[in-house]
Structure 1
Amino acid sequence: MRTMTYPDKPKPGDRVAVLSPAAGLPGLFPVPHDLGLRRLTGDFGLVPVEYPTTRRLGSSPADRAADLHAAFADPDITAVITSIGGDDQITVLSHVDDELLRANPKPFFGYSDNVNLLTRLWELGIVAYHGGSIMTQFGRASRIHPLTEESLRAALFTRGTYRLSAPDSYGDEDVPWDSGAMSVEPPMFPSTGWEWHNADRIVEGPSWGGCLEVIAGLLMADKVLPVEEYAGCVLFLETSEEMPSAGDVHRILRGMGERGLLGQFAAVLFGRPKAWSIDRRTTPTEKAEYLAAQRESVRRAFAEYAPDAVLVLDVDLGHTDPQLVLPYGGTVRVDGPARTITVEY
């Protein structure tokens, strides 16, 4: 099993890099970004340092990689936090200096398109953190969700175990990113909790995975390791605001299964699907149908390719609210009999 190293954690008062290695959307939507920065400073006591491409739309992959290198190489920077995701971070990977990152390990926080860099850090043996972007978690309308904040604090500042908590309610409907809406609490809906299958044993191992659409892109570009490198890990997956169809989800999982990848994992966490977006404002009935169809496609794929894996659906990770931070490459313990998920931050 791959040996993973936890980088040193920041402490209040430290300088942390705020980067946009996926997309410079803070330049287009400064309101949630600036709100997130104020909370990073006022609530978490950290000093954000922005780089040339943080607010610049259309930055080249080489320029975004240069900012990443500058942040990791600076001894005064103790963590790297992404502003938001994007679409083309896979093009940045060919510009990444692996030896520079390996020689200067730091906690890296991001999700969605940032899974491209999370997988690269995983391959270098550096534990990173899936979640906690400035515009979406720190810059959430009204306030940071309490469960998100608790998870973020633990991941940022502490070591040791942390038990993830299933919330009583969740949200997947966004408010507009303008100053008039940012004081409004996003709508929340009753949560049915996590759905467990094959929950008759305990599985523990380093995590790997992320946004399903990004993983699919990495697989198509052959930017993953041989399947046996993932043996003994805990897989986690989730889908984005693009809301892929149940058929697309099954096809991606089927491809992973045919590759022999799904069979490497003894436990799988699948995130609660986002079933509404600004561009696709589904009705309650449409949301319920979408959620049911995606869950069924996931259950079917793992029944076909990893029938003995412990499978947990609707875990609050990725593109959902609250968002629980997972240590990417860190230890995850899935306790089926106790119905608990514990992570090592």
Structure 2
Amino acid sequence: MLTHRRPEKPRPGDRVAIVSPSSGLPGLFPVPYELGLRRLAEEFGLKPVEYPSTRRMGSTPEERAADLHAAFADPEVKAVIASIGGDDQITVLPHLDRELLRANPKPFLGYSDNTTLLAFLWNLGITGYHGGSVMVELGRPGAMHPLTRESLRAALLGSGPYELTAATAFCDVSRPWQDPATFASEPVLEPAGGWTWHRPERVVDGTSWGGNLEILSWLLMADREIRPAEEYEGRVLLLETSEEMPSATEVFRVLRNMGERGLLRRFPALLMGRAKSWSFERPLAPGERERYRAEQREAVLRALAAYAPDTMAVFDVDFGHTDPQLVIPYGGQVRVDGPARRITVTY
């Protein structure tokens, strides 16, 4: 079975690379991006370093791969952080130098479309971190959420076990980045119902794999960065969905196909992120949002019943496209303690 190593973490005063492997949105929305850079410097004590395509929309896959190569190869850069996600990082994969990245392991933080690079590094035996983008978490209006800040600090600068804390309130409704008023106050939160446990009769210890469900479906479709099913035996599966808000039917079909491939039953535990249930394209009312999340949960349970009936699952975990956001190691150790209702990760 593939084993993973945790790259050495940066320390205050170190340089960290800021890259855009998916989309150059920092060029379109500089306010949250530059706010995120300031917080990296002022609250984390790190020195952000930009690359040619970081702020450029329409950069080629070759240009984005070159930025990643430069960031990982630079001995003065101690971590690599994605500015934001996107939808075409899969086109960067053919241009990546596996040996260069394997020889220069560094912590990489990102999520959404960055599931692609996390899976790529996972296959090189390098632990990454699912979460912590510059524009969203670091560039949050008003202030970083305390749970996000604490988790991101532990993942980026710390090491050792870290027990996840369920949020008591969360935000699901976004505000437009092009409106300066957005950044005058923090997002409005609503009560969170805590985590929901399914089959919590045992304790599972395993290294993690997964990420954004939509991106994983693309990797599966293209047969990119997916290993033989038996190599996922005993791992902890991470899944979450984005603001594109796939239907419950689509979620079930992706999981069904993972089941037909023999993948789903390999994971003794599943952490399912709280579903993003509002977008500018689909501004659902509160009751509709609650129903969307419930239908997604039912779809996941239906797939587990058919293909992985013994898998323990925890729903509405605060990772992925949610605020606050907990950073989850990708390829790192995760302990899911069902009887105690506790989740502990190792940064």
TM-score, shorter chain, exceeding 0.5: yes
- Determine helix, strand or coil for the equivalent of 2:182: coil
Aligned to 1:200: 201
The 1-side partners of 2:18 and 2:172 are apart by 25
Aligned to 2:89: 89
Aligned to 1:124: 124
* Long gaps (5+) in structure 1: none
Aligned to 2:17: 17
User: How many pairs were matched up?
Assistant: 345
* TM-score for both structures, normalised by structure 1: 0.99
- Determine helix, strand or coil for the equivalent of 1:16: strand
The 2-side partners of 1:158 and 1:47 are apart by 17
* TM-score for both structures, normalised by structure 2: 0.98
Partner amino acid, structure 1, of 2:323 = D
Deviations 1:112-157 (A, max 9, x none): 0000000000000000100000000000111111000000000011
Displacement of 1:180: 2.2
The 2-side partners of 1:284 and 1:126 are apart by 40
* Of 283, 286, 307, the match for 1:284: 286
Partner amino acid, structure 1, of 2:214 = E
The 2-side partners of 1:189 and 1:38 are apart by 28
Matches of residues 66-85 of structure 1 in structure 2 within 5 Å?
A: 66-85=66-85
Cα contact 1:141–1:175 (8 A) shared by 2: no
- Determine helix, strand or coil for the equivalent of 1:37: helix
Cα contact 1:241–1:275 (8 A) shared by 2: yes
Aligned to 2:28: 28
Give runs of ≥4 in structure 1 deviating > 4 Å. Answer: none
Aligned to 1:269: 271
The 1-side partners of 2:125 and 2:221 are apart by 23
* Of 324, 339, 343, the match for 1:341: 343
* Of 315, 318, 333, the match for 2:317: 315
Displacement of 1:303: 1.1
Displacement of 1:235: 0.3
Matches of residues 295-334 of structure 1 in structure 2 within 5 Å?
A: 295-334=297-336
Displacement of 1:334: 0.3
Does 1:145 pair with 2:128?
no
Matches of residues 41-190 of structure 1 in structure 2 within 5 Å?
A: 41-177=41-177, 178-190=179-191
Displacement of 1:183: 1.9
The 10-residue stretch of structure 1 (171-180 or 258-267) with the greater mean CA deviation from structure 2: 171-180
Aligned to 2:235: 233
- Determine helix, strand or coil for the equivalent of 1:21: coil
Displacement of 1:285: 1.6
- Determine helix, strand or coil for the equivalent of 1:180: helix
Displacement of 1:187: 1.7
Deviations 1:265-324 (A, max 9, x none): 000011100000122111112111111111110111111111111111111110001100
* Long gaps (5+) in structure 2: none
The 2-side partners of 1:162 and 1:317 are apart by 14
